[in-house]
Amino acid sequence: MPDCQKFNATSCNRKIIGARWYGRGISAEVLKSDYKSPRDIQGHGTHVASTIAGTEVQGVSYGGLGMGMARGGASRARLGIYKVCWVGGGCPDAAVLAAIDDAIYDGVDVLSLSIAGVGHELPGTLHAVQRGISVVFGGGNDGPVPQTISNAVPWVTTVAASTIDRSFPTLISLGNKENLVV
């Protein structure tokens, strides 16, 4: 796998031990609007990686609310990055399959994919599970109403956010001088 040659020193650390990108079948126009590398231009891949292996950070809050510590689910994990999605080009099945095959060959322990939609079975995921690799999907972003979970194939673990037992009341001052707490 290529190392961090195309990244500056502040963009690399020892968490990412390898990275690949899959651009075959993506139009030249789409490739111009994205990094021709494993680097993530929109931040989704970075977000997913941090929820998996993010290092502990103290003093995290949302606008000063809910102050505490944040970390990834397995903060000591190392990551292999396989970029298959492109801004304006989607996530072609052929790229997903090639990435999963490479991940199997590379000896990964877990595949975490945040790219599938309702009723869309990603090729290669059953193949990975049959080889002892845990496959984890995100549940989608359509809740919180019943029956909105995505990625319900039976051989993967699907994770989703849930409600929390606290609120973050915020004072809103309207132009007519009325104050509302929401």
Give pLDDT, residue 42: 83
The parts of the chain modelled with pLDDT lower than 70 are 1-13, 116-120, 141-144, 152, 161-166
What are the sequence ranges of the domains in the chain?
A: 16-161
Give pLDDT, residue 2: 39
Give pLDDT, residue 12: 60
Residue 174: C-alpha distances to residues 26, 63, 179 (Å): 48, 20, 6
For residues 89 and 27, give the distance between their C-alpha atoms in angstroms, rounded to a whole number. Answer: 8
Task: Please name the residues in contact with 130: beta carbons below 8 A apart, sequence gap of 6 or more.
Answer: none
pLDDT digit string, tens, across residues 24-47: 888 989 888 888 888 888 888 777
Which has the closest alpha carbon to 48: 98, 82, 11?
A: 82
Give pLDDT, residue 103: 94
pTM metric for this prediction: 0.74
Torsion angle in degrees (nearest 10) through CA of 60, 65, 66, 68: 30
Q: In the structure encoding, which two tokens stand for residue 55, read together? A: 């290092």
> Could you confirm whether domain 16-161 is CATH 3.40.50.200?
yes
Give pLDDT, residue 31: 87
For residues 12 and 77, give the distance between their C-alpha atoms in angstroms, rounded to a whole number. Answer: 15
For residues 18 and 83, give the distance between their C-alpha atoms in angstroms, rounded to a whole number. Answer: 11
Cβ–Cβ under 8 Å, residues 134 and 110: yes
